[in-house]
Chains A and B, each alone.
Chain A
Amino acid sequence: GENVEQHPSTLSVQEGDSAVIKCTYSDSASNYFPWYKQELGKGPQLIIDIRSNVGEKKDQRIAVTLNKTAKHFSLHITETQPEDSAVYFCAASDPQGAQKLVFGQGTRLTINP
């Protein structure tokens, strides 16, 4: 089945700087890659997603890039703000499991004021 690796596990950046989180996946047939933000005590919140027919997608300060050949995708957050501090998870659809998502291990992002 699909396997997703996420790096780094923790990331600390100064407010206003950019943050980048990277994920790799194992199954080239995966076609959907969402990113979730999870705050303490809350469920994961979908912040952006990308499908395999697109190389990049942007929504205000957040962008996701996908390299199908290398089987990796990245989340980019620009002009970071303190409220961006949270745990971020990448995920990939599992071609063997029709609808399910396989998640990475998470990245704890801290924005220092």
Chain B
Amino acid sequence: GAGVSQTPSNKVTEKGKYVELRCDPISGHTALYWYRQSLGQGPEFLIYFQGTGAADDSGLPNDRFFAVRPEGSVSTLKIQRTERGDSAVYLCASSPATSGVGEQFFGPGTRLTVL
């Protein structure tokens, strides 16, 4: 079946601009995660949704970052006033787990470059 998809695959923007990154989870998966991966590092947690609600947003670095999942499926990560330090690969993962920690399946990521 279809895996997690993310669009765009690459995004180049200028410092100060606003960007939106989209994630389509595996059908039926209620849990959705956003992680950020810098070059040569492991993924770092940003935010976790269970259904439509953000159950844990403790990883968002500051208030320029925001994510939504209005219908409990597709999610959008929004970054305002982008900075060069925001450049990274943004990964989305989904899981069928409704409670406790379960298997997380990752998408291919969106590579964000802030010039």
Which positions in A face B, CB cutoff 8 Å?
Answer: 4, 6, 31-32, 34, 36, 41-46, 49, 89, 91, 93-94, 97-106
Contact = CB atoms under 8 A, between A and B. Distances in A.
B42 A46 contact: no
B16 interface: no
B85 interface: no
Contact of A105 (B31, B42, B108, B109): B42
B42 A43 contact: no
29 contacts: A6-B42, A32-B101, A32-B102, A34-B103, A41-B108, A42-B109, A43-B91, A43-B106, A44-B43, A45-B106, A46-B103, A46-B104, A46-B105, A49-B103, A89-B42, A93-B101, A97-B45, A97-B48, A97-B58, A98-B48, A98-B56, A98-B101, A99-B50, A99-B55, A99-B56, A99-B97, A100-B59, A103-B42, A106-B41
Nearest to B89: A43
A98 B103 contact: no
Select the residue from B55, B106, B107, B108 with max chain A CB neighbours within 10 A.
Answer: B106
B14 interface: no
B40 interface: yes
A99 B103 contact: no
Interface of B: 4, 31, 33, 40-45, 48, 50, 55-56, 58-59, 91, 95, 97, 100-109
A64 to B, nearest CB: 14
A100 B56 contact: yes
A26 B52 CA distance: 32
A45 B75 CA distance: 20
Given A6-B42, A36-B106, 6 more contacts: A44-B106, A99-B56, A101-B45, A102-B45, A103-B44, A106-B42
Contact of B56 (A32, A42, A97, A103): A97
Contacts of B58: 97
Contact of B104 (A34, A98, A102, A106): A34
Most B CB within 10 A of own CB, among A31, A36, A49, A100: A100
A42 B108 contact: yes
A36 B95 CA distance: 15
